[in-house]
Amino acid sequence: MLASVKGLFLTLRTTFRRPVTAQYPKEHLPLQPRYMGFPALTWDYTVGEPYCTGCMVCVRYCPTQCMSATMKDNPLFKEGKSPRRKIVESFEINLNRCIVCGICVEVCNFDAIVMSHEHELSTFRRDGRRVRLEQLLEMGKRYQALTGWRPEAERKAEQEKGRLAAAATPSTSSQTGTS
């Protein structure tokens, strides 16, 4: 008897709590920084071309074989404006097949592909979920703007600089402390 009454009082107490519902689509729950949405290709603003060279490592390692790509000789390399000999010519991802595992990002040697935060890409067509290079680059640019993404080498260099700077400054703070 007592347990049932305790249960009743519990539900009564919960009635007066704030509901935990988030009213989608007006309210979106915040996404964590590492959230894995669909893959997107990044854009190198310093040179003005994608980071992707079309090497197809990601295509080979994709567990569901949802991507396909081709590469071409990079015209900007011949002009001396870009360090990349080859550049991606076409790239297609079948989002229906992508299992959002992130292996493509892990194996990429060029920081060319990232897991964007886009996940609301439903369409009304059965085959409407194939994305091509332009759309992938757009998604990538949005992601870069949203998160301030930098390629790994740059990020590591900045971290090193920060560490060195922190190691160099404690003398000033101790001086101010003692004087």
Partner 1 sequence: MPEIAVLAFVAGVVLAFGLFSTLAIALVPVLGSGWGWGIGMGTAAVAGTVVVLLLTVAGLGLQALAYIGGLFALVTFLSLVTFALVWLERKYLGRLQQRLGPTRVGPFGLLQPVADAVKLLLKEDIVPAWADRVVFWVAPLIAFVPAFMVWVTVPFSRDLVLRNLDLGLLYVVAFSVVGITGLLVAGWGSANKYGVLGSLRSAAQLISYEIPLIVVALTIAMLAGTLNLVEIVERQRPIYALVQPLGLFLFLLAGLAEVGRTPFDIYHAESEIVGGPFVEYSGAHWAAFYLAEYVNTFLVAALTTLLFLGGWKGPLLPPVVWFLLKTFGVVVVMFWFRGTFPRLRIDQLMALGWQMLVPLSFLTLLLTGVALYYRWPWWGLSLASTAVLVGVGWLVHQQASRQRPVLRLIPAREVRSAG
Partner 2 sequence: MAEARPLEVREILVNMGPQHPSTHGVFRMVLWVDGERIVRVEPHIGYLHRGSEKLCEGETYLQIPTLFDRLDYLSNFNNELAFCLAVEKLMGLEVPERAAYVRVILCELNRIASHLMFYAAFGLDVGAMTPSMYAFRERERIQQVFEAVSGARMMHDYFRVGGLRQPPPDDFKERVQRLLPLLEKGINECDTLLTHNEVFLARTRGIGKISPQEAIAWGMTGPCLRACGVPYDIRAVEPYSLYDRFDFAIPVGAQGDCWDRYMVRVEEMRQSIHIIRQALQQMPEEGPVLTPGARRLPRPPKGEVYVRTENPRGELGVYLVSDGSERPYRVKIRAPSFANLQALPVLMRDCYVADAVVILGSLDIVLGDVDR
By CB under 8 A, tell whether 121 contacts partner 2. no
Q: Is 89 helix (H, G, I), strand (E, B) or coil?
A: strand
Residue 67, both tokens: 């991507």
The answer to whether 91 touches 52, Cβ cutoff 8 Å, is yes
Q: Determine contact, residues 51/151, Cβ cutoff 8 Å.
A: yes
In the structure encoding, which two tokens stand for residue 142, read together? Answer: 């949005």
Q: How far is the CB of 68 from partner 2 (least distance, A)?
A: 17
Q: Does 32 bind partner 2 (CB under 8 A)?
A: yes
The rounded Cα 90 to chain-centroid distance in angstroms is 20
To partner 2, the closest distance from the beta carbon of 172 in angstroms equals 26
- Both tokens of 26, joined, read 């007006």
Which residues are registered as beta bridge partners of 130? 94
146 interacts with, out of partner 2, partner 1, none, CB within 5 to 8 A per kind: none
Check residue 146 for interaction with partner 2 (CB under 8 A): no
With CB under 5 to 8 Å by kind, the binding choice for 103 among partner 1, partner 2, none is partner 2
Binds 17: which of partner 2, partner 1, none (CB < 5-8 Å by kind): partner 1
Query: Considering only residues 23, 25, 26, 34, which one is a binding residue for partner 2 as defined by CB under 8 A?
Result: 34
Q: Which partner in partner 1, partner 2, none is near 145 (CB below 5 to 8 A by kind)?
A: none
The set of residues, in sequence order, having a beta carbon less than 8 Å from that of 45 and lying 6+ positions away, is: none
Q: What residue type is 150 in one-letter code?
A: R
Footprint of partner 1 on this chain (CB under 8 A)? Answer: 1-2, 4, 7-8, 10-12, 14-21, 23
Closest to partner 2 by CB, 6 or 125: 6
**Which structure tokens are listed for 161?**
């600089």
> Can the peptide bond before residue 25 be classed as cis, meaning omega within 30 degrees of 0?
yes
Task: Tell me which residues touch partner 2 (CB under 8 A).
Answer: 1, 3-4, 6-7, 10-11, 14, 20, 31-36, 61, 63, 99-103, 106-107, 115
